[in-house]
Chains A and B, each alone.
Chain A
Amino acid sequence: MAAVSTLATVSALLKLMFIPTYRSTDFEVHRNWLAITHSLPISKWYVEKTSEWTLDYPPLFAWFEWLMSQVACYVDPGMLLVSNLNYASNATVIFQRVSVILTDFVFYYAINEFQKLQLFEANTKYGKSYNAITYLIPILLIFNIGLFIVDHIHFQYNGILFGVMLLSIVRILQDKSLEGAFWFSVLLNMKHIYIYIAPPYFVYLLRTYCFQRDRPVSFSTFSKTNFVNLASVVLVVFGLSFGPFVYHHQLGQVMSRLFPFKRGLVHAYWAPNVWALYNGVDKFLTVLGLKTCLLQAEAVPAASMTGGMVQEYSHVVLPSIAPLVTMILTALGMVPALYMLWELKSPLAFVRAIILCAFTSFLFGWHVHEKAILMIIIPLTLLVKYSREDAKLFLILSTTGYFSLFPLLFTPFENLLKVLLFLQATIFSFLAIKSLFSDKVKETSSPTAFLAQSLDTLRLPLLSLVESAYLWGLAALGIFNSGLPLRLFGSDLFTRLPFLPLLLTSVYCAVGVVYCWLQFYRLFLCEKFCPKNHDDTNSLTAEDSATFISRKKRR
């Protein structure tokens, strides 16, 4: 597995290049947490509020910060003072940047473990670039530009978190259920947003570990020992994490930090989900109403038209959404996937269910961040080699998802960099995946008309004409959002409506994300209800996954 470590080294080296790039306030957030965990007793961690960036991740992440602070005090003690707000000496910047790069090695380890499994690989003839195909999934994960942008430029620690997540998935795929459950509990106690993908773990472990996988569900096949083992692993992790705060009678305080309900339906920049579409429709109807005089100008809140991207977006035409509604919709969206998982109980279904739960919560959740798209893209990467359909959805979703991260960076150099990184990732993914499924690319119909032919050259590999047009639309939108075309025509549209590019980006990307969600659901449901439909793709059928399981049993 030398190749994965080489790729990891190259990636880590490249990330060093981003040390002087723009840092968001998250940099100060994490510096503050270093200071809090290092200089205050545990009982103060979730009470301290000198900085506005209070500790709002679960306790194990705080311990993770504490661990790093033990090294940080040798680098620059200045960063460990709680009162040292916005402290960013050279040593501090290098320390924090390098800490992200080094903790990413957890991610690389998990990727290596996954690669060793050689799971989810369709029987395709490999194209010319043999190595790039063998290591396609490691390459796509290790050089995931979403993580580059969010972790290494914008600044966060998603690398290690996704590493733990991937590790828990891999352990469960290896039939090491207890270990998988342990890592997932750790993950939940590092960042609670991963609770969105907890249901598939629960269902899958219940069905295959507590009940016996190969036998029908009944009281007699329920293994009480397994259940107790599982429950105790989870409870021990949670106990270690939250126990000290229960002891200090601070559980309520910790919870109020972890789940702040004062936030709005959407983040300042709308994540490309259903609510972005909903708000977009609301905006559109408002403008329409004003134009046709069905709506009085006084009835429209001022911020709604000028700013438009404030934290609390108040709807004008459509009814406002309560948190409960989003929760019910999210739960409803997950139910079919969980039912399928219960029925299919295969490793493939497990991964699919995780992707769908992440998808559903991204689309319907309350106050979703645009960065959460990585929670879908990263597990979806694992299925890239499985079938043409999965690969296609990966291409659409990753392209759209990375594009939707663009508003995170807005300084001149970073603007250039994000476009270059995006183009690189897109071209590489299309090239590699095209050669992976190259034997299927040749279509039977050969267009003769000039228009059809020229349209066909614009068609992207694996994608239909409409899907290609949608992705080309991203390019057009990117050019429009850069402001150059408007400046050529002397329009001041963007100065009057500074949030228009953001609105367009999130609404346009939302269309693609919702489309991928529907398609992915169809793919999953088809596995049970219409297996014949898969004849033209080279995916493994249900039998194949069954043989995989029995093969593993024999081992």
Chain B
Amino acid sequence: MASKSTSSRFSPEFYPQLLLIVLVAMSFRVSLSMWGHSGEGKPPMHGDFEAQRHWMEITSNLPAKQWYVHGPKNDLQYWGLDYPPLTAYHMMAAGMIAKKVNPDLVELGTSHGIEKPDVKFFMRASVLVMDILLFLPAAIAYFIFSRPQKTDESIILNSIMVFTAYPGIMLIDNGHFQYNNVSLGLMVLATLALSFTYDLLAAILFCMSLNYKQMELYHALPFFGYLLGRCIKSGVFRGIYKLASLGMIVIATFAIIWSPFLSSVESAKAVIQRLFPFNRGLYEDKVANFWCSVSPLIKFKDIIAPQDMAKICMLVTSICTLPSFIDLLRKPTMKKFHYASINISLIFFLFSFHVHEKSILIAAIPVCLVVDKDPLAVVWFLLISVFSMVPLLMKDGLLIPTTVAVSIFWMSSDYFVRPTLNQPAQVVYTMQVSLLGGVCLVLATRFIPAPQRFPDLFQLLIAIYSCAHFFIFAFYFHLKQLGGIYEQVLWKFLEGSKGTVSQKKSFDASSVNVDKNLATNRASSRSLRQRR
């Protein structure tokens, strides 16, 4: 992966250390794979594991025309395909391999709910393959190539470590069972392409990501805003040319991916109807978003019809994304893009229609990408994001691996990126109290039986607790994005009465300076440790 020019950038120890990080990440994922998955031993519907397996069965046995259409051989009531075509192709490829290795797994009609050790291994291995081929390389490439040449290699390694050790995505992908690593890996690659100013490539990669999972729409606005902003910035003629070529490339990518479904309007419409089911609920289970958290007070679900609610959600979401979007449009820099992709996906998570608890991953991955810029907020946010998914993970019997993954992530990120270094004392205390509160809530959920009248009491409490955090984080990241005067207000507030911390000046400086600052921080902390 490393090109000639960068091969001399790192010491000879860099690559073995990198390999070590990848090996640790992979062995954790492999051992996680041996635990339960969603819907294990729960007929008749099982869970996401069975859904993905069923899609392999459908796509590898039926022609593309029938994938999204209800038919004698394709019962859409039983986990009908409702992801975009790229997922379908991926499932088809996996199904083709399964036919060679283990034909029972994708036998049309008769393989429903199949549960055998070799089936589990095949499915789990298919996720691990995407981890090793796409997700981890994307993260590594991102941190190596998007950072300035002078960046201390320990910062790069530590950032990669935090990214690969983030428990949320592995618990969902390798535990619960999904392929978020594909769509999010593509999104990371698209971000990397943007930082190289390969705008067309970024557009292609993002379109692929979007065509893998429609939830990537959460990221569509930041990409759109950034690219449009750059078009506007480059003058009238160049701008129009740029915009036209971007539009062409997007249309072309879509056309290629959708080609089997474009033969008639009906077939395209059938796919779209599967992708955007507006007759579904406002949210699934207990989600840490706005609508669910206010449900003890106002039950929107019961007062307003889903169709109207969808419109309300859309309106609220679009209004709330405006500040971040307009700011990005005006100043399309990479720093703003990072924060905008956090902010907008977070707003979508908080306000949009039919949100799953897993969707927090879409906000969490862009957060991971700024771990070297703002370690405290990142680590805190990531921990809370896993916390918000605990009820789901408990349902899959993944409480022990969740505890292990979170504790190790917490301890190792504390050691490697030192989030609390040079931070105002009360911020650190607040973080510790907030996380302790989360731990207590999880313990309560596990050990205290919920009252008869409110069987979902603790799940709801977890949702509300996380939702409050997400609101604060959204506010914080907005201030970070807007920068300038807003950020100064933020630091005034954080530092409060307890004296100022000298390091804070660096936050106004460019990202390069922040990196340098981090390097010196690290050096000083190392010497501190040595002295100890």
Contact = CB atoms under 8 A, between A and B. Distances in A.
Q: Range of interface residues on chain B?
A: 20 to 34
A100 to B, nearest CB: 15
A20 B35 CA distance: 6
The 5 closest A-B pairs by CB, nearest first: A420-B27, A17-B31, A424-B23, A412-B121, A20-B34
A431 B30 contact: no
A19 interface: yes
Nearest to B25: A420
A435 B13 CA distance: 9
A9 B128 CA distance: 27
Contacts of B28: 14, 17
Interface in A78-130: 128, 130
B407 interface: yes
A413 B124 contact: yes
28 contacts: A6-B411, A9-B411, A13-B403, A13-B407, A13-B408, A16-B400, A16-B403, A17-B28, A17-B31, A17-B32, A17-B404, A21-B34, A130-B530, A131-B529, A412-B121, A412-B125, A413-B31, A413-B33, A416-B30, A417-B27, A420-B26, A420-B27, A420-B30, A421-B27, A424-B27, A428-B20, A431-B13, A431-B17
Interface of B: 13, 16-17, 19-20, 23-24, 26-28, 30-35, 117-118, 121, 124-125, 128, 400-401, 403-404, 407-408, 411-412, 526, 529-530
A427 B31 contact: no
A18 B27 contact: no
Interface residues of A, number: 28
Nearest to A414: B34
A380 B93 CA distance: 49
A431 B20 contact: yes
B400 A19 contact: yes
A305 interface: no
A428 B23 CA distance: 11
A130 B34 contact: no
Contacts of B20: 424, 427-428, 431
Interface of A: 6, 9-10, 13-14, 16-21, 128, 130-131, 411-413, 416-417, 420-421, 423-424, 427-428, 430-431, 435
A435 B24 CA distance: 20
B110 to A, nearest CB: 24
B522 to A, nearest CB: 11
Contact of A420 (B23, B401, B404): B23
A468 B530 CA distance: 34
Contact of A431 (B16, B401, B412, B526): B16
Contacts of A14: 28, 404, 408
| Chain B interface helix/strand/loop/mixed | helix
Q: Which of B34, B401, B529 has the most CB of A within 10 A?
A: B34
Q: Which of B20, B30, B35, B401 has the most CB of A within 10 A?
A: B30
A203 B30 CA distance: 47
Contact of B404 (A13, A412, A435): A13
Nearest to B36: A20
Contact of A417 (B16, B19, B30, B117): B30
A9 B17 CA distance: 23
Nearest to A22: B34
Nearest to A127: B13
Contact of B34 (A413, A428, A435): A413
Contacts of B530: 130
A21 B33 CA distance: 10
Contacts of A435: 13
Given A413-B31, A420-B27, A424-B20, 20 more contacts: A6-B411, A14-B404, A16-B401, A17-B28, A17-B31, A128-B13, A130-B530, A131-B529, A411-B117, A413-B30, A417-B31, A420-B26, A423-B19, A423-B23, A424-B23, A424-B24, A424-B27, A428-B20, A431-B16, A435-B13
Q: Which of B23, B401, B529 has the most CB of A within 10 A?
A: B23
A427 B23 contact: yes
B14 to A, nearest CB: 11
B118 A412 contact: yes
A21 B121 CA distance: 13
B411 A10 contact: yes
Contacts of B27: 417, 420-421, 424
Given A131-B529, A413-B34, A416-B30, A427 B404 contact: no
A21 B31 contact: yes
Nearest to B20: A427
Nearest to A15: B404
Nearest to B527: A130
A428 B401 CA distance: 24
Given A413-B30, A417-B30, A130 B529 contact: yes
Contacts of A18: 31
Nearest to B401: A17
A419 B64 CA distance: 39
Given A424-B24, A427-B16, A10 B400 contact: no
B49 to A, nearest CB: 15
B119 to A, nearest CB: 11
Contacts of B400: 16, 19
A9 B412 CA distance: 12
Contacts of A131: 529
Contacts of B412: 10
Q: Which of A16, A17, A19 has the most CB of B within 10 A?
A: A17
